[in-house]
A and B are shown apart, each in its own frame.
Chain A
Amino acid sequence: GAVVSQHPSRVICKSGTSVKIECRSLDFQATTMFWYRQFPKQSLMLMATSNEGSKATYEQGVEKDKFLINHASLTLSTLTVTSAHPEDSSFYICSARGFMLGDTEAFFGQGTRLTVV
């Protein structure tokens, strides 16, 4: 399958600081990337959908000013958690799909475990 690389895999930050998470498609052009959040023993919750070169579409209840998404190229999307608080501690996962992958499959990055102290 296609490779989606997410970095960093783990990050610990202080409350009030910002954290940037990168998601890269290594062997295909990702026209659409998705950002999910997963709390312990919960399912993946879609936060936002980003299309290259346009503004991200956020799911209801997700603060777009807090979770900044940039999809500036066909191989890179970033999620910045601004002014992080302990309740933002979670597992953040990106997924990507693109023309080369066909119509349906989306592949996941390795995930980022964010801990805000």
Chain B
Amino acid sequence: QKEVEQNSGPLSVPEGAIASLNCTYSDRGSQSFFWYRQYSGKSPELIMSIYSNGDKEDGRFTAQLNKASQYVSLLIRDSQPSDSATYLCASGSGAGSYQLTFGKGTKLSVIP
């Protein structure tokens, strides 16, 4: 059974601070990892993808992957109230069909 675990939160950070979101996954065969942002009542929006160990930066977002520890994280710098949402971690596996396994999400609240 493939599982992706996330702390459900809520995680509250003040505006301008760094928000740190964490995720672990069980399937060692997972080859790629994604962070999605989901606002209430909306479908997920892709924020970051990462495929190899290390850091990947895109604007205020940095994804970190450690395959040995089966650990993925997302850092959001200079957090804004508009970043308040639920962040879903997903792992991808399976050649061809490429299925994603999602965590339950971490709810982030950025306090003005």
Q: Which residues of A contact B (CB under 8 A)?
A: 1, 6, 32, 34, 42-46, 49, 51, 57, 91, 93, 95, 97, 103-111, 113
Contacts and interface: CB of A to CB of B under 8 A. Distances in A.
B97 A57 contact: yes
A57 B98 CA distance: 12
Contacts of A97: 98
User: What is the interface of chain A mostly: helix, strand, loop, or mixed?
Assistant: strand
A105 B104 CA distance: 20
B97 A51 contact: yes
Contacts of B61: none
A107 B92 CA distance: 13
A2 B105 CA distance: 24
A116 to B, nearest CB: 18
A106 B99 CA distance: 9
6 contacts: A43-B102, A46-B99, A46-B101, A104-B49, A107-B46, A108-B45
Nearest to A104: B32
A32 B98 contact: yes
Interface in B54-105: 88, 92, 96-105
B97 A49 contact: yes
A106 to B, nearest CB: 7
A110 B101 CA distance: 19
Contacts of B102: 43-45
Given A104-B32, A104-B49, A105-B49, A46 B43 contact: no
Contacts of A32: 96-98
